[in-house]
Chains A and B, each alone.
Chain A
Amino acid sequence: MTNRAVKSRDGPAAFDSLVFLASAGHGRVISKYAPKEIIFAQGDVADSVIYISKGKVKLTVVSTEGKEAVVAILDADEFAGEGCLIGQVKRLATATALTVCEVTRVKKDEILSIMHGQPKFALMFVSHILARSARIEENLIDQLFNSTEKRLARVLLLLANFGKEGRPQPILAKISQETLAEMIGTTRSRVSLFMNKFRKAGLIDYNGRIEVHSSLLSVVLSDQPRSVDPTA
C-alpha cells in the first residue's frame, strides 16, 4: 500500500519519509485500531497529524443538527488531522477506522520541524495535501454536475480502486448503505433503490460485501466532468 508515496515526487532514495512516518520515535507514536474504533473525534484537541500506514479510515462531520456527512475515505499512505498545522485547535471531523488500521500520530511541532529540515519530506507532504484537495475538488464537481445515481456509481468505483494502478478489487471493508448515503448527500433508501437497480443490471453484486464490476463505469461515463480520468 505504501508504494504510492515512493512513487510520488520524492524518489525512492528519500530521507526516507516512509520509514520516518511508519516508525515510532521523537514526537511519533504508533497505534492500532479495530474496525469502528474512533481515531479522533470532532471537538477533540488537535495537536498532531495522523499518518495512516495500514487500513482505511472514514472522516465524518456532524452538523449541529446532528446530520452526518462523510467527507473522505482515506487509504493507507494518507494523512488526516493536518488542520492543526493551520491553527485549528480542535478536530473538525471524526476519524473512524473502517478496517484494522495502524496509524502514526506525529506531533505538530515534530512535523513542522521535519518540514523545515527535510526538503524531500516537505515536497512529499505538499504533494499529499495537493492530491487531497484535488480529490475534494472532484467530489465537489461531482456534486455540481451529477445526479444521485451517478454519484453513487462513482463512489462505488472509487472505493473499488478503479482508475488507480493495481488491480480493481471488490470493496473490502463493509461499507453500509448509510455511509454511502452520507458520502453522496442522499438518504439510505435512495441508496438502496439504486443499489438494487445496479444489481439487477449486473453492474454490481452484493451479499454482505459489495463487488463492483467495471461495467458500472458506463453509468458515470455518460457525463464526465473532465478530460482526464474521472476516477484518478
Chain B
Amino acid sequence: MSPSTGRIATDRIATARPAGLQLDQAFNVDSFAARHGGVTRSAFKAGVRVYSQGAPADAIFYIQHGQIQLSVLSDQGKEAIIGILDAGDFCGEACLIGERQQVSTATCLENSSVARLERTAVMQAIHADSHFAGFYLVYNLNRGVMLRDSLISHLFYSSEGRLARTLLLLADSGGDGGADNVIGKIDQEALAQMVGTTRSRVNHFMTKFRKLGYIDYNGHSNRNINVRSALLNAALRDNLLGGTGDPASASHRRGQEQA
C-alpha cells in the first residue's frame, strides 16, 4: 500500500504491495464483459454518488478512471471515511458475501469512469475463470492487508500518528514514490473523518506538521498539501509524533476515550 505503515514490523512495509501472486495484468473490463457479460459502464461527475449506504447491493464496481471515496454514516449522523479508491480498485463487494444492501456510500471525488459488474456475472467468473478468481483473490487479500493496517494503526497510534499515516497514504496514492507528494482537494473535515478525530485536532496537528516542515501548503487559494514523505515517515517511525509532552501521544492515548 505505502511506506507509511510505520513501525509495525518492518517486513510489512515491503510486502504491502502485491509481490507473490502478481496483479501485473490489470483487470480488463472488455474481456470480462465478452466472457461473462453483466457489465455496464458509466461516467460520473465529481461529487456524484455511485451508490449509497442502504441501497440494494447487487453488483460490484470497478474504477476505470478517477477517484472514489467510501464513507459510512452512523445512526447519529456521524460520518467516517473508510477508504479513498483509485483507478484499478473495486468496491461494493459486500454483495458477494450475502449483503443485500450497500454498507457504505461511494462518492466520486473526481470525474470518474466506473464499470458496474453484476453480482451473478462476478460469481460466475470466479467459478468458471480461474484467472479471474486468482486475480480477484489477490486483490482482496491486499485489500485485507490495508484494512488490517488501518485497524492496527488505531490500536497502536495516537490520532496524530494516524493523521501522519493518512497523509502518507494519500500522498503515495500516485505511486511514484517521490520525495515530495502533493495531495489535492482534501479538507480538514474529511481528514478528521478518515483519522477518527475532530477537525480542530486535525487543524492543530497540521499546523504543527507545517512548523516542523513535514508538510506545506502551496498557496492559499488551492490548498494543495505538499507532503515531505521521507521526513514524515521518519518522524512516524522514530515515534517523534505526539512526543511525551503531548497528551495525545501514543503512550498516553491507550487510556483515553476515542475522540
Contact = CB atoms under 8 A, between A and B. Distances in A.
Given A144-B196, A182-B155, A227 B101 contact: yes
Contacts of B93: 130, 133
Interface in A209-232: 222-228
B224 to A, nearest CB: 26
A35 interface: no
Interface string A63-74: 111010111000
Interface stretch (B29-37, B41-49, B179-187, B250-258): B250-258
* Interface of chain B, main secondary structure: helix
Interface in A102-139: 112, 115-117, 119-120, 122-123, 125-127, 129-134, 136-137, 139
Contacts of A228: 99, 101, 103
B9 A123 contact: no
A219 to B, nearest CB: 14
Interface residues of B, number: 58
A169 interface: no
Interface string B143-168: 11101101110111000000000000
A33 B109 CA distance: 49
A26 B257 CA distance: 50
A126 B103 contact: no
A74 B193 CA distance: 29
Contacts of A186: 254-255
A225 B99 CA distance: 15
Nearest to B75: A224
A101 B235 CA distance: 41
A155 to B, nearest CB: 12
Contacts of A9: 123
A187 interface: yes
Given A123-B133, A143-B258, A129 B154 contact: no
A85 interface: yes
29 contacts: A63-B156, A64-B8, A84-B20, A85-B141, A86-B20, A86-B138, A112-B21, A115-B130, A116-B134, A120-B127, A123-B126, A123-B127, A130-B97, A133-B140, A137-B82, A141-B72, A141-B80, A147-B257, A181-B254, A182-B155, A185-B154, A185-B156, A187-B255, A189-B255, A224-B74, A225-B75, A227-B53, A227-B54, A228-B103
State the 8 A-B residue pairs at the shortest beta-carbon distance, nearest first: A87-B19, A87-B20, A69-B155, A144-B80, A185-B155, A144-B196, A122-B133, A143-B154
Given A64-B9, A133-B144, 8 more contacts: A71-B151, A85-B138, A115-B133, A122-B126, A187-B254, A225-B74, A225-B75, A225-B80
